[in-house]
Amino acid sequence: MLEVKNLAKSFGNRQILKDMNFSLADGEILTVVGPSGAGKTTLLRIIAGLETADAGTMLLGKEKYDLSGEERGAVGVVFQDFNLFPNMSVLENITLAPQLALKEDKETAESKAKELLEKLQMADKGSLYPYQLSGGQKQRVAIARALAMQPKMLCYDEPTSALDPALRDQVADLILSLKKSGLTQLIITHDMDFAKKVADQVLEVKPLEG
Ligand SMILES: Nc1ncnc2c1ncn2[C@@H]1O[C@H](COP(=O)(O)OP(=O)(O)OP(=O)(O)O)[C@@H](O)[C@H]1O
């Protein structure tokens, strides 16, 4: 489960997020909606530990985090532009972090990566490079790369924005299949049809006055 309490964030003297509180059960999906510039990506970055908050705490499973400091290792991120390493194969993209951060040996990391690729219908793509993949395939690699780190939670920034409508449905199906495995997911989206299809809860981030 995820529980975020009293999260606040300013940039300079401009407050972006104020006293945010929400909680999710294991396997629940939260979609984060709101106008451009409201602070959705900032919220995601704080939850994922890529940005510090001014205040707030987060409970993820049994781990309690101070959002103004500590690393938050158990949260994976799928970025809007996928952020794959262009000079590495699909398999290398997925196995790098588990080897470096989880100290998995190459063989173990590769066998897990192959399993993930199989699950994501990408079993034959391991030796390809990102430029040889379609947008939907790149996204699957980004998801596999995040899952290889065995996260308790996965966050996505606009996962459907680069995809055509048929692929959007595939991403929704994939996200719902990950939900079945108990993964908690947070998804920023402007796509209301998509949000309706996957969301257990919707969090609206509103721009603060002043
Ligand atoms: N590192 C930073 N330094 C200063 N201001 C920032 C920084 N990052 C974001 N901001 C500001 O914080 C506000 C919220 O940005 P954020 O990217 O979180 O919005 P968003 O809701 O995700 O927008 P969009 O839907 O356009 O992606 C914006 O006004 C942005 O300019």
Domain ranges of the chain: 1-76+183-210, 78-150
Residue ID of nearest Cα to ligand 1 atom 30? 37
Query: Can you read off the two tokens belonging to residue 14?
Result: 């401009």
Q: Per-residue pLDDT tens for 75-96?
A: 999 998 899 999 999 999 999 9
- At residue 36, the pLDDT reads 92
Q: Is the pLDDT reported for residue 210 higher than 90?
A: no
Query: CATH: 3.40.50.300, 3.30.310.10, 3.30.450.20, 3.40.50.720. Which one for 1-76+183-210?
Result: 3.40.50.300
The rounded Å distance from CA 5 to ligand 1 centre is 21
Ligand 1 proximity of 13 Cβ (cutoff 6 Å): no
Amino acid at 162: A
Ligand 1 proximity of 17 Cβ (cutoff 6 Å): no
**Helix segments in 148-186, DSSP class H:** 165-180
- Atom of ligand 1 lying closest to residue 188 CA: 22
The rounded Å distance from CA 97 to ligand 1 centre is 27
pTM over 0.80: yes
Distance CA 17, CA 38 (A): 8
Ligand 1 proximity of 39 Cβ (cutoff 6 Å): yes
Residues 6+ positions from 206 with CB-CB distance below 8 Å: 34, 35, 38
- At residue 141, the pLDDT reads 95
Ligand 1 proximity of 76 Cβ (cutoff 6 Å): no
The rounded Å distance from CA 16 to ligand 1 centre is 8
Residue ID of nearest Cα to ligand 1 atom 9? 42
Distance CA 176, CA 196 (A): 12
**154 vs 69, which has greater pLDDT?**
154
